[in-house]
Amino acid sequence: MGLQVWTEDEGGPYQAIPHAGRSWQPAGAPARQPHEYIRGGTINQLTLFRPATGEARAEPVERATNEVLHRWLKRELTAILEGCPPAPTIPAPGRRWADWDRREGAHLLDEQFPAPRLLLIWDNLKGHLTPQMVRWCWERGIIPLYTPLGGSWLNMTESLQRIIEGRALQGQHPEDVETMMDWFRAAIRGWNRHPTPFIWGGKRHARRDRAYARRHRLGGSGATTGITIRRRCRSVALHHRLSIANGFGK
């Protein structure tokens, strides 16, 4: 429908402590963990992810308050909108606010705000429901879509953040916040050099796969049947041919 889909999430907190995992060490000099437990601080990661292309926009921060999050989101979303195609003059199906908002009076949004240009999927948190932030999105044609409570697994950014965390911290011991933030930025740059698109594979997709596995494929096309089609035995086919030869059938 010409709409870009982006997902957003805040990862963390990540601690500046030794992290388990594999690491490269010289032969005969294995990695050793410090015996003191010293807290070097924590960071969070603000992430925007586009599953269709694998592009990621992320920034490690010391605090992920609403003020910090909203300021970063406005800057990044504005840059994304500059690369989006303009909204159509005549809204097509899927490019109207009423197509996405089922609440009563949603059709009034089409009269007050420009046509949608981008879908933003994020968690159903109070900070994401702030009226000022929601209206800012509406005024720029951004449709906020909220995952259900307890449904964070529906947000693909969760998977990306796990990958970035592993690349940045696995088997490492960041001693301070600045070092950890540099590692996260380097991991994001490395990801964007070779981004990987994500394909949805949730429970509904798994159910379709199981249903398709129970079907029986037919040769000559992509058709399937729910039951096995019996093949005529050789004796029946031979009897049929003999009947035709003797003039008893066609």
Packed helices 177-193 and 157-169: angle between N→C axes, nearest 10 degrees: 120
Please answer whether residues 10 and 46 qualify as being in contact, where contact means their C-beta atoms are separated by less than 8 angstroms. Answer: yes
Question: Considering Cα of 169, then 172, then 178, then 182, what sign does the dihedral take?
Answer: negative
Domain at 4-22+31-193: CATH code: 3.30.420.10
Domain with CATH 3.30.420.10 in the chain: 4-22+31-193
Cα 140 vs. chain centroid, distance in angstroms?
A: 22
What's the pLDDT tens digit per position in 119-165? 999 998 888 999 999 999 989 989 999 988 877 778 889 999 999 99
List pLDDT tens digits, range 38-71.
778 999 999 999 999 999 999 999 999 999 999 9
Q: Taking a C-beta distance cutoff of 8 angstroms, is the pair 47, 160 a contact?
A: yes
d(CA 210, CA 216): 12
First to last CA, the chain: 54
Tell me the percentage of the chain whose pLDDT exceeds 90: 40
> What mean pLDDT is reported for the chain?
83
- Mean pLDDT of the region 11-15: 92
Confidence of residue 28 (pLDDT cuts 50, 70, 90): confident
User: For residue 35, which amino acid is it?
Assistant: H
Cα–Cα dist 151/39, whole Å: 32
Cis peptide bond N-terminal to 13, omega within 30: yes
Q: How confident is the model at residue 86 (pLDDT cuts 50, 70, 90)?
A: confident
Q: What angle do CA 76, 137, 144 make, to 5 degrees?
A: 95
Give phi and psi for 59, each to the nearest 5: -150, 120
Element (H, E) at 158: helix 157-169
